[in-house]
Amino acid sequence: MTVPELADVHAAWLPPEAFQAVGERHTLVCGDGPLVRTALAEVAQACRRHGGTVRHLPASMGDDPPAGDDPPTGADGSFDLVLAVSRTGRPDHDGFELARAAGVTRVVADGPAGLLYGLFHVVRLGAAAFGADRPAEQHRPAMRRRMVNHWDNVAAHPVMGQVERGYSGGSIFWRDGALRTDLTRVTAYARLLASCGINAVSVNNVNVHATEALLLTDRLEDVAAIAALFRPYGIRVHLSVSFAAPVTLGGLNTADPLDARVRAWWARTTARVYGTIPDFGGYVVKADSEGQPGPFAYGRSHADGANVLADALAPFGGVVDWRAFVYNHRQDWRDRSTDRARAAYDHFAPLDGEFRDNVHLQVKHGPIDFQTREPVSPVFAAMPATRVAVELQVTQEYTGQQRHVCYLAPMWSGVLGFEPWRDGRSVAGIAAAGGGLVAVSNVGDDRFWTGHPLAQANLYAFGRLAWSPRLDAATILDEWIDLTFTPSATGEPDLLRRTLHALMDDSWQTYERYTAPLGIGFMVRPGDHYGPDVDGYEYSPWGTYHFADRDGVGVDRTRASGTGFAGQYPPAWAAVYESLEDCPDELLLFFHHVPYGHVLHSGVTVIQHIYDTHFAGVEAVTGARRLWERLPAGLVDLALHARVGDRLDEQLRCAREWRDQINTYFFRKSGVPDARGRRIF
C-alpha cells in the first residue's frame, strides 16, 4: 500500500520527521495480513526517506521472532528493530509488548492491530526507543472500543450546513450530496486516528436526514468505499441510522420495535449491510430526542427500540450505540419543577438490565450538553447491568468552536477519574467494562484538519486517553508537541514548548473564566452557540435557565427545595451537592441558587468572583496573544503561525465581549459595584 502524503494539508502529529528514528534503522516486520502490510509500508517509507532498511518475514516462514538477546541477521547486519505478531497472542486484542535488549528494540503484538499500534508507539518515543535497555513493558488499551462520531451531512442541511457543530470546514467524506471523488484525505485521516489508538468511526450525522438515511440501503456502496480506506488501519466503520427507517426506507406503515415485520426488516437490511461490509461495526441511534423519531411514538421503551436493532446485529458481531441524550426540548420556562439535567437518568435508569449485551448506552459526560463546566452524569453510576459508553465532544461547540484555544484533556481527565461511589471505581472503569469512549469529531476539510491548528491536540488527546485514561494531560500535550513541531533551525525548541504550554495548559480554565461562571452553563447565543447572550435561553423551551434576579443566581437542584437532581447521585456525592457548604465552588450555581453576596470557599463573594474571573480571563488571552506574537520568525511554519495568530485575535475580541456583557449584566442585576473599581458598562 501507499502511505498518503498531502502537500496542501498539514501533517498534524505525523510529519515525515516524526519517523526519523524508525527510518534510520534496520527493521524486520514479522506477520501477515492487511494491518501488517500497513505497518510494513509505514516503515518502508520512513526508511526510503532516512536511509534505513526493512525486511518482511511472513508468519509462514518461521516461528515467533528470535528473542532480544539473539537478534536475527539480515544481509546488511543485525536488525535493531523487530516488529512481530505473536503466534501465542490474542488476535482480537490490540495490545503489544515493547522491550529493548542487546541492541534490539522489539515490539511483539497480540494481533495485527497491536503491531500497528506498537509501531506508532515507537514513533512517539523517537530516539528514546533505541537508547538504553528497556525491560518488557505491556501496552494494552483500557477501552476495547475507542470511537469517533462524525456529525457530517451528505447533503448540506439548510440550517446546520455540511457538518453539524463542525468548525473545520466541510466533510472529508461527502460533498455536494455525494461521496467525494478523491478520498486520499480519508486514508490520511485513518492514519492519524490509528496513530493515537482510535479503532472505530461513524461517518454521518446522528440527526439522520433524508439523504443520509439512504446510506443504509440505496447508497451502501458509498459506506463500503469509506470502510475500505479505514480497514488497513484497523478502524471499523459504523453508521448513524434513523429509528423510522422501516417506514421511510422499507415501506412499512410502522416502526414499532415489537412488530414482527419491523424486526424482519431490520434483520434483512442488516444482513445486506454485512454482505457488503463484512467488518461493519454497527449502528448509532439518536431517538426521541430533539425531533428525531423513536420508540415513544409506539408506547415502547428505549430498551425495546435498541434491542430490535441489537438482535439484527448480533449474528454478525455488531453493536448498537444508543444515545441517552433524550429530554423534553419543549419545556415551559415558567415551571421550575422541570429540569433538563434530570432527563437522561429519569428515562434510562429504570431500564437497567433490559438492554441486550451488544447495546452500548452512549451517555454524554455531563447531564446537560457538553458545557464548559458540568458535574459528571449520574447515569454512569445508575446502570451497573448496562454497557455504558462515555461520550465526549472534541468539536468545541460550547468551548470556543475552534476559534479559541481550549485544550480539553484536563476536563476529560477529571471526568474519567471521577469516582461516583468514592470507592476507587471510576468513570473510566465503567467505560472500560462497557461501551468504551466515544467522541464527536472536530475534523473537516480545512487545511489544518481542525480549523485552529492547536485544536488538533484535542483529537490526539482523546485517542490517548481512550487508550490510557490515567495519562497526565500535560504529558499528552508534550507528546503532541514533540510529534507535531519538528526541531527548528533557530535552536529554540524549548521556547516553543514553553509557549505552547503557556497557551494551552490552563486554556480550558481560561475559557471558563471569561464565559459562564461557577457551573451555570450556556449564556451563549441561541442557534450558533458562539458568543455571549446571557438570557438567550432563559425564556426558551430548551430548559437551560440560570434564574438570575436582583437577589441572586443559580439553579436549585437540591432535594430539599429544588428539582431533586442532586439526589440522582450515589449517597456520598448526593450529600456533597445537596450541601451549600460542601458543594465545590466550580459547580455551585449548577446546584444552588444563592445571593450575590454568598462567600465562596475561595473567600470572595459570588458577584466579585464573576467580576474577577472575567477580567482575569481577558488578561490571560491578552498574554497568550503576546507570547505567540513574540515567537522568533521561522520557529513554526509561517502559515500555521498566521492561522494561530488570527484565531488568537478573534479569541481576544470575543473574550472582551464576554467580559463586558457578563459583568454588565450582573452589575445591573445586583447593583453591587466591582470592589476593585474596574470599568463595567
**What is the mean pLDDT of the segment spanning 82-108?**
93
Question: Tell me, what's the pLDDT at 563?
Answer: 97
DSSP designation for 66:
P
Nearest to 564 by CA among 349, 352, 338: 338
Look-up of cell digits 516486520: 29
Same domain, 224 and 356: yes
CA dihedral (22, 27, 29, 34) in degrees, to 10, reads 40
Residue 672, in any domain of the structure: no
Give percent above pLDDT 90 in the chain: 92
Give the range among 13-17, 155-159, 209-213 with minimum mean pLDDT. 155-159
Is 655 inside a domain boundary? Answer: no
Please check the confidence at residue 73 and state whether its pLDDT lies above 50: no
At 75 the pLDDT is 39
Q: Please state, rounded to an integer, the average pLDDT across all residues of the chain.
A: 95
Q: Are residues 436 and 340 in the same domain?
A: yes
Identify the bridge partners of residue 77 per DSSP, sorted by sequence position. Answer: 74
C-beta separation of 267 from 312 below 8 A: yes
- Asked if 133 and 162 sit in the same domain, the reply is no
pLDDT digits (tens, 9 = 90+) for 315-356: 999 999 999 999 999 999 999 889 999 999 999 999 999 999
- Residues 103 and 217 placed together within one structural domain of the fold: no
Together in a domain, 44 and 100: yes
Determine the pLDDT at residue 528. 94
Question: What are the pLDDT digits (tens) for 391-409?
Answer: 999 999 999 999 999 999 9
The confidence band for 89, taking pLDDT boundaries of 50, 70 and 90, is confident
pLDDT tens by residue, 637-681: 999 999 999 999 999 999 999 999 999 999 999 999 999 999 999
Residue type, 57: L
**CA distance to 142, 264, 464, 517, 551, per residue, from 412 (Å):** 15, 41, 11, 19, 34
| Residue at 109 is within a domain | yes
Question: 220 and 314 share a domain?
Answer: yes
pLDDT of residue 61: 53
**Local confidence band at 488 (pLDDT 50, 70, 90 cut-offs):** low
Contact 416, 431 (CB under 8 A): yes
User: What pLDDT does 59 receive?
Assistant: 79
pLDDT of residue 269 exceeding 60 = yes
- Residue-wise pLDDT tens digits, 228-242: 999 999 999 999 999
Could you tell me if residue 327 is inside a domain?
Answer: yes
Q: Are 343 and 411 members of one domain?
A: yes
The answer as to whether 495 is a domain residue is no
Report which residue type is found at 527.
G
Cβ neighbourhood burial of 159 (10 Å; 0-12, 13-18, 19+): exposed
Q: Which of 369, 479, 512, 556 is catalytic?
A: 369
**One domain for residues 311 and 211:** yes
Percent of the chain's residues with pLDDT above 70: 97
Domain boundary among 407, 440, 471: 471
Residue 204, pLDDT score: 98
Determine whether 674 is an active site residue.
no
Looking at residue 77, its pLDDT comes to 54
Split at pLDDT 50, 70, 90, the class of 69 is: very low
Q: Does the pLDDT at position 590 exceed 80?
A: yes
Among candidate residues 321, 397, 446, 578, the one labeled active-site is 397
> 528-551: per-residue pLDDT in tens?
999 999 999 999 999 999 999 999
pLDDT tens by residue, 499-537: 999 999 999 999 999 999 999 999 999 999 999 999 999
- Does residue 505 form part of some domain? no
Q: Which domain holds residue 243?
A: 146-471
Residues 175 and 253 in one domain: yes
Write a three-state SS string for 216-272: HCCCHHHHHHHHHHHHHHCCEEEEECCCCHHHHCCCCCCCCCCCHHHHHHHHHHHHH
pLDDT at residue 421 is higher than 80: yes
Which residue, 108, 139, 170, sits at the end of a domain?
139
- Whether 122 and 183 map to the same domain: the answer is no
5 confidence band (pLDDT: 50, 70, 90): confident
Q: How many domains does the chain have?
A: 2
The confidence score (pLDDT) of residue 490 equals 55
Is there a domain that residue 51 lies in? yes
pLDDT in tens, 170-191: 999 999 999 999 999 999 999 9
Which domain CATH number covers 68?
3.30.379.10
Residue 675 confidence (pLDDT): 98
Residue 193's CATH number? 3.20.20.80
> pLDDT grade, residue 455 (50/70/90)?
very high
Q: Residue 110 falls within a domain, yes or no?
A: yes
- Same domain assignment for residues 27 and 66: yes
Find the catalytic residue in 5, 290, 472, 649: 290
Boundary of a domain, candidates 92, 108, 139? 139
202 versus 4: the higher-pLDDT residue is 202
Residue in the structure block whose three cell numbers are 461501551: 435
Residue 288 and residue 258 share a domain: yes
* Annotation says 397 is catalytic: yes
Torsion of Cα atoms, 429 then 435 then 436 then 437, to 10°: -120
Amino acid at 157: H
Rounded to the nearest 5 degrees, what angle is found at the Cα of 492, between the Cα atoms of 490 and 493?
Answer: 115
675, β-bridge pairs: none
Q: What pLDDT sits at residue 7?
A: 86
